[in-house]
Amino acid sequence: MGKYVYFFGAGQTEGKADMKNLLGGKGANLAEMANLGVPVPPGFTITTESCVEYYNQGEQLWDTLKKEVMENLARLEKAMEIKFGDNSNPLLVSVRSGARVSMPGMMDTILNLGLNDDAVEGMAAVTSNPRLAYDSYRRFIQMFSDVAMGVDGSLFEHALDGLKKKKGYKVDTDLSVEDLKALVEEFKAIYKKEKGEDFPQDPMEQLWAAIEAVFKSWNTKRAVHYRKLHSIPDTWGTAVNVQTMVFGNMGDDSATGVCFTRDPATGENVFFGEYLINAQGEDVVAGIRTPQPINKSKKKSSDEVSLEEAMPKAYEQLVEIYKRLEKHYRDMQDMEFTIQKGTLFMLQTRTGKRTAQAAVKIAVDMVDEGLISQEEAVLRVEPEQLDQLLHPMIDPKAEKKVIATGLPASPGAAVGKVVFDAEHAFEQAESGEDVILVRLETSPEDIKGMAAANGILTVRGGMTSHAAVVARGMGKCCVSGAEAINLSYQKKLFEVGGTTVKEGDWITLNGSTGEVMAGKVPTIDPVLAGDFGRLMEWADKARTIGVRTNADTPHDAKVARDFGAEGIGLCRTEHMFFEGDRITAVREMILSENEAGRRKALAKIEPMQTEDFIGIFTAMEGLPVTVRLLDPPLHEFVPHDREQQEEMARQMGVSAEKIAEKVAQLSEFNPMLGHRGVRLGITYPEIYEMQARAILKAACEVAKSGKKVIPEIMIPLVGTKAEFDVMREMVDRIAKEVFEAEKTEVPYSVGTMIEIPRACVIADKIAEKAEFFSFGTNDLTQMTFGFSRDDAGKFLKEYVDKKILPRDPFQALDQEGVGEMVKMGIERGRAQRPGLKVGICGEHGGEPSSVEFCHKAGMNYVSCSPYRVPIARLAAAHAALKEKRQ
Amino acid sequence: MGKYVYFFGAGQTEGKADMKNLLGGKGANLAEMANLGVPVPPGFTITTESCVEYYNQGEQLWDTLKKEVMENLARLEKAMEIKFGDNSNPLLVSVRSGARVSMPGMMDTILNLGLNDDAVEGMAAVTSNPRLAYDSYRRFIQMFSDVAMGVDGSLFEHALDGLKKKKGYKVDTDLSVEDLKALVEEFKAIYKKEKGEDFPQDPMEQLWAAIEAVFKSWNTKRAVHYRKLHSIPDTWGTAVNVQTMVFGNMGDDSATGVCFTRDPATGENVFFGEYLINAQGEDVVAGIRTPQPINKSKKKSSDEVSLEEAMPKAYEQLVEIYKRLEKHYRDMQDMEFTIQKGTLFMLQTRTGKRTAQAAVKIAVDMVDEGLISQEEAVLRVEPEQLDQLLHPMIDPKAEKKVIATGLPASPGAAVGKVVFDAEHAFEQAESGEDVILVRLETSPEDIKGMAAANGILTVRGGMTSHAAVVARGMGKCCVSGAEAINLSYQKKLFEVGGTTVKEGDWITLNGSTGEVMAGKVPTIDPVLAGDFGRLMEWADKARTIGVRTNADTPHDAKVARDFGAEGIGLCRTEHMFFEGDRITAVREMILSENEAGRRKALAKIEPMQTEDFIGIFTAMEGLPVTVRLLDPPLHEFVPHDREQQEEMARQMGVSAEKIAEKVAQLSEFNPMLGHRGVRLGITYPEIYEMQARAILKAACEVAKSGKKVIPEIMIPLVGTKAEFDVMREMVDRIAKEVFEAEKTEVPYSVGTMIEIPRACVIADKIAEKAEFFSFGTNDLTQMTFGFSRDDAGKFLKEYVDKKILPRDPFQALDQEGVGEMVKMGIERGRAQRPGLKVGICGEHGGEPSSVEFCHKAGMNYVSCSPYRVPIARLAAAHAALKEKRQ
């Protein structure tokens, strides 16, 4: 505990980047820039240890600290050649907090500290800019009072607004010097009224108060709460940064700007930025004046004046600095600078945000430039970002009228004419129209229409509602749960916030944001550049967990394979019961009073399903295909409205009453927890037998044509050992029969989805006979939480807003709860069967934090929608690399 | 491995009761009776070890075994003074299997072994009863062929049926001696055709084959499967019992009968039984002749002839034996005997089945007689049996016409006129009618009608459907899920199996069996004798776990307290939102667009809820009362049919459309997993605040009147730590406010229901702030299994029938799955807070095997419906005593 204060800048820097624990993130970064010879406004950092000591001292500044601050202030005065507290030419400073990690609830910045009634005059004289001086002073009073002294900031806002209103001003810059002077008086009066004493005129008094305020802000309720949530020790403390103020608004030889070492939109390796002459940072944001380009080559018209032309010397220095900084930090930098009377100061440098396209290009370029390794390049691109590259998107420059917002259920953009029923959507699309299918919610009957539409909009349902899941599977844009919409199927229109949209009207969806827009908004197609492919290759080299896809058709299988899928982790078979004539046979089965009748109907479906599987096995030649036997409850296969029931009655030659009766009999209070999955297999074994036969026959067919086929038969919704054992026995029996009849054998395996909490508990028992587990984390999340994914949308958003939950557990796997169940399942399963193959096929299989969880939990693979396969590959690489680095 | 064969009877018994492992259950029991000097037909037991050795020998009988069998056979011949294989007067034997535990799949009995074409003549001559001889022979051929030689038994049945048909006979006894002779020939022909050889005439050959058949039956598929299911080692083996045949049908000096040491219906300490002269055991069952009473005192008319009168010597001997056996076994015995030509033989003695009333009386009497201890008496009564004593029941002698069968949802019997809606049921009952409320299903709106009705019948729903749960809570008879019923509210009738029942028709329900009967069937009221009270006292002394009740009203609380409840474990508050005018205020709250409107409506309900709690706290003075805050989703409080919506609209002064819209908006796909429990508390904190205020105000009121009140506030459906913490903070805040206003303080605690799998996983985190856990095993079972209790009835019966599940998990706690989650929750919760109070308030709290589980899991108490409190008390005593004895 020797040294409390570290100087930076003016060639006398004492700290460095790796002293973050002592100097805080901000302090260490300023020191680092100064060490690199980059001109930063000099200043000093009071260590985090001082903050701890402050509390040890009973919340009082102590002598040795004060002494060190005074010494460093003197050093600063010497470097700047002006004096703190010199009313004729005052040295002004900013005071900021800076902990090891950025933390909300900590103290905000205080600027212009050192001003008082006299110094403001001095500043006005020295700068020949009374406006600047008084504006700085009134800002200082407000910030100091609010941030350091706890005076309600809105009192100052009201005073300012009152003055502007009285004068008829629109913006702050309308204020005259006299106005500002009056405001300063009013602000001081507010301070006096609130604090019962005059606004402190002694700069040292101001400084001590500001330093104490930073220390105290370490223990605000919000900061303490945040630390608790994020397990940050109370003993870390925060540092205090005291830094010389510089001004970009001291005349035409001053300026301020922001720049990037490469183009953050495209990734192109060109210097890029904007600046304003005689301005402050916030003027760039305010948008009253148009910022100018930094360099000549980026000028869009000859009216513009680049920094390169206006201040060639400063520009040259800036170029030299950006190159140094990028090389040093080995990543694209986003920098802020101020030029004060011709002198360049760098205020900040940080890793620049960028688009997905830019992230990929910069990462790959930097590998080629020898700046970073391939592994680093992989880590430089956030998996979730890739989503932008895989779908068309709304042109960011386009004008748009957002009429409603739902959930970003399936990314991309879609434009089309509104259609309210699936059949009609299909017909319209067949005839060449672009359509958007709009429904209260969707059901499996709507699949054909969903496939034909450009996009899907639903009024109800969450991120894993039927519409959302199916749309993501299809890689199709979908906005779900736009609850504000009032839809009338009868009137064929919907109404939202005063706008009425009729069938046939154009709308545009942004599935990446959940926005619904009126009319046709232009979209742009993504370009999967060669860089993308190279990056994914490096990712594949790095990752250790497999990536499969959820695909139900040969087409989806092919798309996913092109995206790099290494097999199918979930081939749902329910769609195979809907297509074409099949639904008639399925309904015949449902209406049958006995097993014989059901078998007769199923016999009609079997050859068609066999063909389906032949198509899928062929598309996935050489790769494993996990086929899930029928999962949804039977009532999903019968119509629920009277009209369709009557049509079905005519088709089947029975009375509509009989149909209605059957539908009523099949209906369930909680279909999610109903008669579905293996429960169907137990009560109607003939259904699962038919499916097993179709799968194995198809496998034999494809194998006979010389192709390698790896079928994995998956029993859904298993919750007891007996359920699985009975089904496994059935599959083995059918396999024997089929192999004998086909005179060929195909190796196959039988496993189960683990999606019921009880299955996790008895995983060891299930693993006695099961060769693989595939965690169905959608349903497992529903049951572990007791959340219906179709209903939870109503309160989940509020849960996330109120921080009851960190994230929607249907989007990112809930590792604390559901994850524990998954781990239990894996542990118990592998205790019984060490070689048990384990994967995930819930929607989480394509979500990066969940993929990382799956990697850590020791799964063999993740499986996700075709369009998320690249994301999963990259996320898997990140997980492996992060682990390696630990 | 010395001795393979043990002799019993004739004063030469070598085994005893504790040699069950070696001699099997049956062999040891026969030896025990013989040791007691009870005349059993002598015989010998081949040990279980012999069976193991048989397999070691490659499934062959070996010399030493054969030698021992021959020696024992000789001993038997000597004892009986006739010879095995003596065609003029043959010794006949039975051969039976007998493992350590009774086991299905093992070999059935073979009777009359030793008969052949010659011996049958000898038997006919010796007994002067050719009919007996040939009937015995044809039975032997059939049993031996089927059981020992694997010939399909139905071939013999067909032959017998064919003969009877040809002759126009109705019953087997119509067969003449000539018919029987012909049948013997036909049976032998069948054997020859099937086995390709003549029926074995050599008695020794028959005996060896029968012994081998028993050994082989140890490894039948069914036996192996059963052993696997019940973890019975394959190495135990089965014993073989070879016993002398005795005949009760050798003339008027012969008889057969069944008797009990005490009256199995009433428990009265009197000898009791029935017999038939010149008959075989199966004649008693066949019901062609009316059995006569054993003793004079039980004669119902002078036509009857008691054994006491007919065979006084045998009777005297039997009395002496029954006393000896009861004293020896220290329990009421159920015995079978045969008298052959004046000589009494005891064939079997076992603990007799008895009614609940008899069980209680016998247990208490035996304590008074000094025969058993109080603890033994407690263990003698099965907790589940008590149910019979706590409700009225159908007169067992009454005639009845069962028209449908549903689930035995709530025990007891009820008679009344059919009413199809709750309001009408209430009115009818008010006007003095006995009514049965018949509904497709019930909802909270029906409570008033359910309370007023004598019984409830529903078409849908399982053992834990709304109707079932509420009815059990009310101790009211209920049959649920009578799915065969076609009900039309419109036509005001239901139809089932051809019977039509209109509104106003009488029906009778048996809630203990699930039977629905036409008309008025007489019922009898139970008498809770003084014995019952004494037994329960002993039970309370023995048990260590507390028993509380689930009660929502002062009346229920009082009933439960009278039944011995030590507190309320679950006081649901939803009923408090329905009564009287409250529902109007509740609906006003639901329709409110903002918090202010909701608060206004809630303010109307608060004083009424406060009164409710005052009533309950007063009724439970001095005992803890756990109050659960509102649990059901809001849509349960709004009407779902158009007509009622219109009425509500008129009442509320809004449009019916608005109501319909709100109802639609509130509707859920899976209400069970919907917006309910603490989720309401999070989104509408004002509801829970009102309830907390009402509870604490009521507690203060009651405390001020000098009564002790122990309120425990329970937050339902918690799945995350934050949910609980937010609510706990709210309750503490409200408590502070109320205590300040009331100027008094009442100690209270705040805890949670653990009913979501995730809550078990993070129980340690929840226990940081929660003072108690109450496992809501209804919902926990639903979510752990993924079964909707309202829907699972459709397949759960099949699951139990097919042995996918051992029992309905909504009836008996699933210890393997749900139980594991419960244990995890307790373990993790107590790891965080060692003194955590833990209870159960699901329906399982009154089910004996579940109570035992709760005891073992270390819970502090179970809580159940008032009418199951005595059952839980007894079950808890059993659990403690069983543990003590281990």
Kindly determine whether residue A717 and residue B786, on different chains, have CB atoms separated by under 8 Å.
yes
Contact state of A674 with B756 under an 8 Å Cβ cutoff: no
Question: Does B669 contact chain A (CB < 8 Å)?
Answer: yes
Contact A782 B673 (CB under 8 A): yes
Per-residue pLDDT at A578: 83
CB contact under 8 A, A674 and B814: no
User: In angstroms, what separates the C-alpha of B650 from chain A's closest C-alpha?
Assistant: 24
Cβ-Cβ contacts under 8 Å, B805 against chain A: 720, 722
Q: Which residue has the tokens 């014993």?
A: B239
**ipTM of model:** 0.80
Which stretch of DSSP H or E encloses residue B666?
Answer: helix B656-666
Please classify residue A34 by burial: count the beta carbons closer than 10 Å to its beta carbon, then call 0-12 exposed, 13-18 middle and 19+ buried. Answer: buried
A833-856 pLDDT, tens digit per residue, is 999 999 999 889 999 999 999 999
- Which chain B residue has the Cα nearest residue A717? B786
**What residues in chain B have per-residue pLDDT under 50?**
none
Report the b/e string of A741-760 with b at 16+ CB within 10 A: ebeeebebbbbbbbbbbbbb
Q: How far apart are CA B350 and CA B326, in angstroms?
A: 10
- Cross-strand pairs, A96: A241
Q: Are A404 and A496 in contact (CB under 8 A)?
A: yes
| Beta partners for residue A711, in sequence order | A625
Dihedral, CA of residue A699, residue A704, residue A708 and residue A714, to nearest 10: 10
**Pair B638, B666: CB distance under 8 Å:** yes
- Per-residue pLDDT at A529: 60
B478 has catalytic annotation: no
Which member of A758, A782, A816 has the closest CB to residue B784? Answer: A758
DSSP A352: P
Q: Residue A791: which of B673, B717, B719 has the nearest Cβ?
A: B673
**Catalytic annotation, pick one of A51, A391, A466, A864:** A466
Query: Taking the alpha carbons of B535, B536, B541, B542 in that order, is the dihedral positive or negative?
Result: positive
H or E segment to which residue B875 belongs? helix B869-885
Distance from CA of A663 to the nearest CA of B (A): 14
Helices (H), B81-118: none
Q: Which residue in chain A has the smallest CA separation from B820?
A: A761
Phi/psi zone of residue A321: left (φ > 0), alpha (ψ -120 to 50 degrees), beta? alpha
Q: Do A784 and B756 touch (CB under 8 A)?
A: yes
- pLDDT (0 to 100) of residue A190: 96
Å between B39 CA and nearest CA of chain A? 47
Q: Do B758 and A817 touch (CB under 8 A)?
A: yes
- Let me know: does B756 contact B717? Beta carbons within 8 Å: yes
Identify all chain B residues contacting A786, using CB atoms and an 8 Å cutoff: 672-673, 717, 719, 755-758, 779, 783
Contacts of B679 in chain A (CB under 8 A): 795
Give me the pLDDT at residue A635, please. 93
Residues of B in contact with A779 (CB under 8 A): 786
pLDDT tens digits, residue range B827-851?
Answer: 999 999 999 999 999 889 999 999 9
Catalytic residue among A571, A841, A854, A864: A841
Integer Cα distance of B866 and B553 in angstroms: 11
The amino acid that residue A490 corresponds to is: Q
Identify the three-state secondary structure at position A35: helix
In angstroms, the separation between the Cα of residue A557 and the nearest Cα of chain B is 31
Series of mean pLDDT values for 10-residue runs along chain A (886 residues): 88 92 92 95 97 95 96 95 94 94 80 96 92 93 92 92 90 88 96 95 96 93 82 90 93 90 90 89 65 87 90 96 95 94 92 86 96 97 86 85 90 93 89 92 85 92 78 83 91 93 95 92 76 94 97 90 95 88 91 92 95 96 98 92 90 90 91 95 96 98 96 98 97 98 97 98 98 97 95 88 90 96 98 98 93 98 93 97 92
A388 burial type by CB count under 10 A (0-12 exposed, 13-18 middle, 19+ buried): middle
Kindly write down the DSSP assignment for every residue of A132-160, as one continuous string.
Answer: HHHHHHHHHHHHIIIIIT---HHHHHHHH
B154 backbone dihedrals φ, ψ, rounded to 5°: -70, -20
| Amino acid B28: pLDDT | 93
AA identity, residue A145: S
SS3 of A33, please?
helix
Burial of A886 (C-beta count, 10 Å sphere; 0-12/13-18/19+): exposed
Distances (CA, A) of B280 to B58, B275, B338: 39, 10, 8
* Active-site hit among B259, B571, B700, B841: B841
3-state helix/strand/coil string of A250-291: CCCCCEEEEEECCCCCCCCCCCEEEEEECCCHHHHHHCCCCC
Alpha-carbon span A423 to A434, nearest angstrom: 14
pLDDT at B286: 56
CA distance B601 to chain A (A): 22
Instruction: Write out the DSSP string of B725-744.
Output: HHHHHHHHHHHHHHHHHHT-
Q: How would you write B835-856 as a 3-class SS string?
A: CCEEEECCHHHHCHHHHHHHHH
Phi-psi region of B769 (alpha: psi -120 to 50; beta: other; left: phi over 0): alpha
Q: Which of A675, A756, A803 shows the shortest C-beta gap to B794?
A: A675
| Cα B502 from Cα B419, distance rounded (Å) | 9
Give contacts of B814 with chain A, Cβ < 8 Å.
Answer: 758
Q: Is A805 on the interface with B (CB under 8 A)?
A: yes
**Span B17-45, pLDDT tens digits:** 899 999 998 999 999 999 999 999 999 99
* Contact yes or no for B672 and A818 at CB 8 A: no
Question: With an 8 Å Cβ cutoff, are B682 and A722 in contact?
Answer: no
Residue A528's pLDDT is 62
